[in-house]
Amino acid sequence: MAFPDVKLARRPLHFIYLCDCSGSMGGSKMQSLNQAIRQSLPAMANVARDNPEAQMLVRAVSFSTQAKWHIAEPTPVEAIEHSWRDLESQALGLTAMGEAMKLVAQALRTPPMEQRALPPILVLISDGAPTDDYYGGLQTLLHEPWARKAVRLSIAIGHDADLEHLQKFIGPEPSTGNAGERSAMRPLQANDARTLARYIKWASTAVVSAASRPVSEIGGDRAPSSATNVPMPDLPPTLMDPTDMSQTVW
């Protein structure tokens, strides 16, 4: 007796950027961020093609004096890998980071979030400190079960970024206690364009690949992110070339 081929529906994997577009992000920082995201999208699309059980969906929030959706609809990465619309910094703009988190919280409610989705990936990128009700926004975000299950990463651009708030977005500060303890992530520090590009690509490929794997394949001894069982891949090397005088340091 012949049985018809049955194709299982692909499980959605939502990847959301939360991008600082305040006044301090103007110039080389904004240009480098756009270039890093633009260059990472084809690589993310390749990862998606290598993981046919997952459907990669990308969105982005920009925040300055106000927060708004830059890409509002969950968009297949294949549809935007060659058509990223650049973010723009707002002159004298503030840093409504808490408001950005409230927007993402709305997107992670069920519905519209699918019950069978994979853990989302949230990447917060900022070069400063929030100027609005950050803790209220973070509390609203973490009230949503999907946000607590999400892989939450943060990237600090430059030496002036507020690492304390970026850490709170990820979770508790890593423990330095027992040698056997597995600790949480720290904010990733990007003080130049190349390091920023490496971190963006790492989040867009290695982390996406880990999050899109079936639970039965997850193993090893790497630390899971947040409350998920997603093992975090090794970070890329980020050392600057001291002989390269063309590198701009933020």
Dihedral sign of CA atoms 224, 46, 169, 147 in order: negative
Q: Copy the structure tokens of residue 149.
A: 């299950």
Backbone angles phi, psi at 40, to 5 degrees: -80, -20
Ordered per-residue pLDDT tens for the chain, 250 residues? 554 554 567 899 999 999 999 999 999 999 999 999 999 999 999 999 999 999 999 999 999 999 999 999 999 999 999 889 999 999 999 999 999 999 999 999 999 999 999 999 999 999 999 999 999 999 999 999 999 999 999 999 999 999 999 999 999 876 655 443 344 689 999 999 999 999 999 999 999 999 987 554 444 444 455 556 688 888 887 655 555 555 678 9
Q: Concatenated DSSP letters for 164-201?
A: HHHHHHH-SPPP-S-TTPPPPP-PEEE-BHHHHHHHHH
Pair 201, 35: CB distance under 8 Å: no
Structure tokens at 143: 């009230």
With tokens 């301090």, the residue in question is 24
- Taking CA atoms, 77 is separated from 37, 80, 116, 118, in Å, by 12, 5, 19, 16
Assess contact for 105 and 140: CB atoms under 8 A.
Answer: yes
Using DSSP's 3-state secondary structure scheme, residue 10 falls into coil
Q: Could you tell me the domains of the chain?
A: 11-172+186-217 (3.40.50.410)
The whole-angstrom separation of Cα 250 and Cα 246 is 13
- For 152, the token pair is 């939450």
Structure tokens at 231: 């093992």
List the 67-76 sheet strands across, edge first.
67-76, 54-63, 11-20, 121-126, 151-157, 188-190
CA distance 187 to 70: 23
pTM: 0.88
